[in-house]
Amino acid sequence: MKKETPKTKANPKTGSKGLISRYKGHKDDTGSTSVQVVLLSDRIKELTEHLKEHKKDHDSRVGLLKMVNKRRRLLDYLRRNDEKKYKSLIADIGLKK
């Protein structure tokens, strides 16, 4: 029987810690648009790696598509309201646009 690894959630203590601290408005900020985009990007990267190994996991693929769409909507909102922060954020995360 294959040993299952525990599922991990996107954690601000991982590689995105610097980005979160840069974009958060206050100490416990997890709701601002920029922070949500950073957290979603981390989860998307993790799930992409999972799907490379588990190609037939269609439920996770649907979840990945939902996360990508949510990130896109948040980025569109950010671009409409704060162009400078938008450009800075996509450069830091490494997204194309």
Task: For residue 36, give the nearest of 88, 81, 83, 73 by alpha carbon.
Answer: 73
Contact 26, 34 (CB under 8 A): no
pLDDT, tens digit, for every residue of 52-92? 999 999 999 999 999 999 999 999 999 999 999 999 999 99
The answer to whether residue 3 sits within a structural domain is no
Concatenated DSSP letters for 14-25? STTHHHHHHH-S
Q: Does 64 map to a domain? A: yes
- The answer to whether residue 9 is domain-embedded is no
What range defines the domain where residue 55 resides?
17-93
Assign residue 78 the CATH number of its domain. Answer: 1.10.287.10
Identify whether the C-beta of residue 41 lies closer than 8 Å to the C-beta of residue 16: yes
Assess if residue 67 is contained within a domain.
yes
How many structural domains compose the chain? 1
Asked whether the predicted pLDDT for residue 32 surpasses 80, the reply is yes
**What would the pLDDT profile of 35-51 be if each residue is shown by its tens digit?**
999 999 999 999 999 99
**Local confidence band at 5 (pLDDT 50, 70, 90 cut-offs):** very low
Whether the predicted pLDDT of 12 surpasses 60: no
The whole-number pLDDT of residue 21 equals 83
